[in-house]
Structure 1
Amino acid sequence: MSTPHVKGRTYDATGRRERAAARRARIIAAARARFLSDGYAATTVAAVAADAEVSVDTIYKGFGGKVGLLEAAWWRALEGRGEQSAERRADAAAGDSDARTMIATWARLSAEVAGESSRLFALIRSLAVVDPAVGDLYQRIEESRNARMAHNARLLAATGELRPGVSVEQARDIMLAVSGHLPEPLLDRAGWPARDYIDLVDRLLRAALMADAPSGPRSASSAALPSG
């Protein structure tokens, strides 16, 4: 008689976790939409709660307030659109890849993640100079970006194909500059198609980082992607 009871309890716990995860995702999506449409100052916790169909207390308990919502929206955006996070997919692709394949993967994932995160990044960067709490968040984001690009630079150097005279630290800095400053003006303001952005990032990184950067047609990373 005890086994069905245990199974029932396990099922109920799984269901609660799934409902909690769905509720959290709904709150984060509502917060992101509000921040980008109304701006940070005009967005209220009450408005996000109403959009997500939860109580204000639920948001305060789960996120602590507006800065917590902004931070959650940022880290969710970095995951991209795949079933696995963009970082995990990048690391998996880098396993036995040569430098050109690794860079093509980074370019493709850069466009995917930028589509989710670049407007949030611009918002956080602008708020950081006037709101100390957001400034702390921005600092953590920059530290995380720095660590990630250092990781990618070390992977690239391990292939033996890093351009002579370019240090791992310089490779990190180049990737930081590309990922931090190109998406917002090109994808958001100018409305570049994703395939054109991917092609540009791929060519820039290969030219700057590869020992033998081949010139030629559009990269394979962008050839199969639709525009927009």
Structure 2
Amino acid sequence: MAPPRKHDTDDILDAARTLVLRDGPRAASVAAIAEESGAPVGTLYHRFGNRDGVLTAAWLRALERFQDRALAATTQSDPLDAAVALAMTQVRFAREEADDVRLLLAIRRRDLLDAAPDDAFRDRLATMNAPLQAALARLTRALRGRADARSLDAVVRAVVDLPNAAVRRHLREGGRLPGWLERDVADAVRTLLLS
């Protein structure tokens, strides 16, 4: 049996996320991440390969955390309730995991990587996104009777774009989400989906 890891991966990824959010993507060098996390530079190179590997892992971890919650929201039997729950996932996730949301919303993938994303990254991202895209198509068929491009776009505008914009604006303006945001966003999403 292998000995337990001395430096927790989540601690390293948290340190990378902190550096990116506090000082910008370029500040998150391997040396800076090592200093922030307390892990030796060699550990970071061994575990992640390079700076791109650490930052990609932090970004994908945030995305996976969000997508797990979003997919769980789509399991409700009533499609309208499932769609509203999916939209609310963004607001609740932003309230509970604000730093992960800031990483996902404020930092573009290309800002995190020195090199162009490789095929493995693109494949992993496509694999991660596929279940949520399928859930959106199912909800669209249930709500609109079809899942053509226009119908899917209408549902995505309501359950993805609207809550994303609300969360992004509030996080940028002061970092806090008002207590009434869930109710107002849910009402707006429901209105859009029923129109």
Query: Secondary structure of the residue that 1:41 maps to in structure 2?
Result: helix
Question: How far 1:194 moved relative to its partner?
Answer: 5.3
Aligned mates of 1:197, 1:89 — CA distance in 2? 18
Aligned mates of 2:45, 2:192 — CA distance in 1? 46
Query: Secondary structure of the residue that 1:97 maps to in structure 2?
Result: coil
Q: 1:23 to 1:94 in 2, by over 3 A?
A: same
1:161-203 Cα offsets, whole Å, 9 max, x none, are: 3389961244235544335533222233244535433223322
* Contact persistence 1:32–1:73 (CA under 8 A): yes
Worse-superposed segment, 86-95 or 22-31: 86-95
1:37-82 Cα offsets, whole Å, 9 max, x none, are: 12122232112112222211111122222222221111222344xx
Query: Which structure is richer in relative contact order (CA contacts within 8 A, separation 6 or more)?
Result: 2
Aligned mates of 2:15, 2:56 — CA distance in 1? 13
2:170 maps to which of 176, 180, 186: 186
RMSD between superposed Cα atoms in Å: 3.6
* Contact persistence 1:45–1:66 (CA under 8 A): yes
1:109 corresponds to: 89
2:102 corresponds to: 119
1:78 maps to which of 63, 71, 82: 63
Of all paired residues, the percent bearing the same amino acid is: 27
Structure 1: gaps of 5 or more residues: 1-11, 81-85, 212-228
Structure 2: gaps of 5 or more residues: none
Larger radius of gyration: 1
Aligned mates of 2:111, 2:64 — CA distance in 1? 26
* Contact persistence 2:15–2:36 (CA under 8 A): yes
* Contact persistence 2:21–2:102 (CA under 8 A): yes
Q: 1:149 to 1:189 in 2, by over 3 A?
A: farther
- The question of 1:54 aligning with 2:42 is answered no
2:110 corresponds to: 128
Aligned residues: 187
Aligned mates of 2:128, 2:186 — CA distance in 1? 19
Task: Note the 1:1-228 alignment, pairs <5 A.
Answer: 12-13=1-2, 16=4, 19=5, 23-80=8-65, 86-114=66-94, 115-125=98-108, 128=110, 133=115, 136=117, 140=122, 147=130, 150-158=133-141, 160-162=142-144, 167-178=151-162, 180-193=164-177, 195-210=179-194
